[in-house]
Amino acid sequence: MTLPIALQTYTVREQFAHDFKATTRRLAAMGYRAVEITFEIPGTKPKAAAKLFRELNLAVPSAHLPLPLGKNERPVLDFASQFGLSFLVAMHGPNDFKSLDQIRHICDQYNQAAAVAARHGLQVAYHNHWWEFGMVEDRLAFDVMLEALDPAVGFEVDTYWVQAAGHDPAAVVQRLGARAPLLHIKDGPATLDDPMTAVGQGVLDFPAIVAAASGAQWLVVELDRCATDMLIAVEQSHRYLVQEGLGHA
């Protein structure tokens, strides 16, 4: 059984800023039937974005947002309701991974946010980069997170950054099981600084990754940067996932 495909709109942030409507219509024409958005959407306002997504039958299962805590609680929950989100995705930067105490403090915030989200039928998910797979005080930071996070906190596994950090993304998603409902799918040389490529044109083994992802609900294409035309790469990525029997529109 294949997984549904979404596009993280950070990928087309420049195109959105130039012409949000035309870019969104082009994504739909490529075959994308869902998008993962950001809290601030370039080139438009949330109300207008939600209206266009509905017109084009584009689902919005997840978004990258601040944690719904303190002053951010009501704005984030309102945003989630406006777009019909299921997942609230957040991340922390490398400066927050300098000590085990910092990591545990971060995890406590996610645990609190997950409790808030659950009361509204939502799930919080943590999006990794490479620093979560580095060593901190002789411990793998990711292992510490798994110990400290409530099982209610899921993961959006960025498969590219896992491999760039020297780990096997298929093993990571297999280990997480149902705790990894979202997979970020990007490809390239799996280095920290080089441009990315369309999915299927780099070094990642996506058939193995998807086969290992027993709990995955969405494949979310995201290219932070690309050596070729971004919209062409976005279309090629969708085509690859469909043709390889990994995802569907």
Task: Give the chain's mean pLDDT.
Answer: 98
Residue range 7-60, pLDDT digits in tens: 999 999 999 999 999 999 999 999 999 999 999 999 999 999 999 999 999 999
pLDDT at 249 over 90: no
Q: Mean of the pLDDT values across residues 87-115? A: 98
Provide the pLDDT for residue 165.
98
Task: Please report, for the chain, the start and end positions of each structural domain, with discontinuous segments joined by +.
Answer: 3-248
Residue range 56-74, pLDDT digits in tens: 999 999 999 999 999 999 9
Q: Would you place residue 85 in the very low, low, confident or very high pLDDT band (cuts 50, 70, 90)?
A: very high
pLDDT at 121 over 90: yes
Q: Would you place residue 225 in the very low, low, confident or very high pLDDT band (cuts 50, 70, 90)?
A: very high
Provide the pLDDT for residue 138.
98
pLDDT at 1 over 80: no
Half-sphere exposure in the Cβ direction for 145 (13 Å, CA): 27
β 139-140/3-8 pair status: unpaired
β 135-136/123-127 pair status: unpaired
Residues forming a β-bridge with 234: none
Secondary structure of the chain as H, E, C letters: CCEEEEEEHHHHHHHHHHHHHHHHHHHHHHCCCEEEEECCCCCCCHHHHHHHHHHCCCEEEEEECCCCCHHHHHHHHHHHHHHCCCEEEECCCHHHCCCHHHHHHHHHHHHHHHHHHHCCCCEEEEECCCHHHCEECCEEHHHHHHHHCCCCCEEEEEHHHHHHCCCCHHHHHHHHHHHCCEEEECECCCCCCCCEECCCCCCCCHHHHHHHCCCCCEEEECCCCECCCHHHHHHHHHHHHHHCCCEEC
Q: Mean of the pLDDT values across residues 128-140? A: 98
Residues forming a β-bridge with 98: none
Q: What homologous superfamily does CATH list for 3-248?
A: Divalent-metal-dependent TIM barrel enzymes (3.20.20.150)
Residue range 188-219, pLDDT digits in tens: 999 999 999 999 999 999 999 999 999 999 99
